[in-house]
Structure 1
Amino acid sequence: MTTAQGNKEAVGERYELQSMRHAQQMTWQAIEQIAAAITPGMRESDAQVLGKRILGELGMDRIWHPLLIRFGANTLKTFKQRSEGDPELGRDDIFFVDMGVVWQGHEGDAGATFTTGSDPQMSACAAAARELFQRVEGYWRSERVAGSELYRYAADEAQRMGWKLNLDIKGHRVSDFPHAIHRGGDLGDFAQYPNTGLWILEIQIAHPQRPFGAFYEDLLI
C-alpha cells in the first residue's frame, strides 16, 4: 500500500490514475444511457431494474455502492435516506442518477440530475447543481485549498446562486477497490489539499420553496 498525504489518501497496490479515468468515463457513459431510458410513467423501482441491466450490458465488475435513482421529492433525500414510496415519474418532473461502480478494479462514482417536460425551475435546479460543481472544481484547481475550504466555498456560492447546499453531503474517497479499508473520511472534513484522482466532490442543492432538489458529483481529476 502506498500513501500520498498520510493514510487518508492511501491507495492499493493496483491503483493507477489512468484506470481511475477509465472508471470515470464508463460511469458517465452508464449514467447517460440510463437517464436516456428513463421516461414518464416509470416508477423508481422500474428505473433501478433498468439501470442494473444497463450496467451489466456495459461490462461492469460490480456495484460498490447501491445504484440510486430518485424521482421528484425524493431528490431531496441523502444517500443514506430511503426513498419515500415508489413514485411515478411525471411529464414535468425531475430525477437524478447516482452510481458507484467498479470498472477494471477501480471505483467509478458519479451522479447527475435530469428533467422531463419543461418546468423552468426544475431545469434551473438541475443546471445549478452542475454549475456549482464546476465552480467548486475550478476553485480546487486554481486555489489548491483544503477539502473543508471547498465546502465552505460551495455553501457560499450556492447561497449567491439562490439555492441551499446540503452540507450533510460532503464528498468521499475512491481508489482501486475497495477504498473503504483506507478510511479516508469525507472530503469536506479533509484538512489538506485533496490530490487528483482520489476524491469525489458531491453537490446536493434544494429549491428554496418547492419540494425538490438536484445532485451532481464527479471525480476531482
Structure 2
Amino acid sequence: MTLAAKEAVGANFSAEAMRHAQALTWAATEKIAETIRPGMRESEALSAGKALLASLGMERIWHPVLIRFGHNTLRTFGEQSQDDPILGDDDIYFIDIGVMWQGHEGDCGLTRTTGHDPEMRRCASDAKRLFEVVREYWQTHGVTGQALYAYAAEQAESMGWKLNLDMKGHRVGDFPHSIYKPGKLADLPHTPSGGLWILEIQIAHPTRPFGAFYEDLL
C-alpha cells in the first residue's frame, strides 16, 4: 500500500480540527490526572476518568480508556490489567485516552508519579523526553516509521530503559481512520506525514516491575 493510501482521509477532514481535537484530549487527560490520588484502586480511577470524559462534551470514546497503576504500567494496550492495584504513596501510573471531538480523533498518554521514588520519577520524565528526542529526529531527518522506532530503541537503551516495541504507534484522523487499514507506525516503510500519526513510547525499568508511557501526535 502506498503512503498516500495509508494516509487517506475523509471529505470532512481538517488539519485544524485534528490539532483542536488533540488539544482537547490533552486537557481532558490532565483533568483525569488531577483526580488520581494514593489509596485509589485502579478500577476506581478508571471509572472516575470515564465519568469525567462524559462530562466534558466529547462526542465519543474511540478507543478504550486505560489507566494503569504500578506493575500494570508494563502492560501494553491490548493486555488486561493484573489484579486491581491500589496506588501507593510512592508509586507510578499512566493514562491513555482516545477521544473524538468534531469528528476527529484525539489520542494521548502520559505518566505521573505520586511520591519521591527517584527511579520512578526519572522513568516518567524520560518517557516524555524520549518522545521529544525521537520526534526531533523525525523532524530533522525525515526518516521512515521503521527507522524511527529503531532509533527510539537505541535511545531508550542509552537512557537505561528498555523500549517496548509491541507499542508501535498508529494512524489517527477523521473518525474512523481504521477504514484505511494503514498499519502501525513502526512498520511504515515511508516517512510519516505530520498531523496523522501517533508516536507511542513505552519504556520499562530493567530490573524493577514498572514502566512509563507517553504518546502524542507527530
Alignment correspondent of 1:168: 166
The aligned residue for residue 15 of structure 2 is 17
RMSD: 1.1
Tell me the SS of whatever aligns to 1:20: helix
SS at structure 2 position matched to 1:102: strand
C-alpha separation in 2, matches of 1:56 and 1:65: 14
Q: Which residue of 2 aligns with 1:107?
A: 105
Residues 1:145 and 2:107 are matched in the alignment:
no
Which residue is 2:122 aligned to? 124
Q: Secondary structure at the match of 1:67?
A: strand
Deviation at 1:7, TM superposition (A): 1.4
Distance 1:194 1:213 in 2: 27
Q: Which residue of 2 aligns with 1:76?
A: 74
Matching residue's letter, 1:152: A
Report the secondary structure of 1:121's partner residue.
Answer: helix
How far does residue 195 in structure 1 lie from its aligned partner after superposition? 0.3
Q: 2:146 and 2:173 mapped to 1: Cα distance? A: 20
Q: CA–CA distance in 1 between the matches of 2:3 and 2:13? A: 15
Q: Structure 2-normalised TM-score? A: 0.98
CA displacement, residues 5-54 of structure 1 (integer Å, 9 cap, x when unaligned):
33111111111000000111011101111011100010111111111111
1:197 partner SS: coil
Q: Which runs of 4+ in 1 moved over 2 A?
A: none
C-alpha separation between the residues in 2 aligned to 1:26 and 1:41?
A: 28
The CA distance in 2 between the partners of 1:183 and 1:22, in whole Å, is 24
Unmatched 5+ stretches in structure 1: none
Q: Secondary structure at the match of 1:69?
A: strand
Deviations 1:119-159 (A, max 9, x none): 11100000010000000000111111111010000000001
CA distance in 1, matches of 2:60, 2:85: 27
How many pairs are equivalent?
218
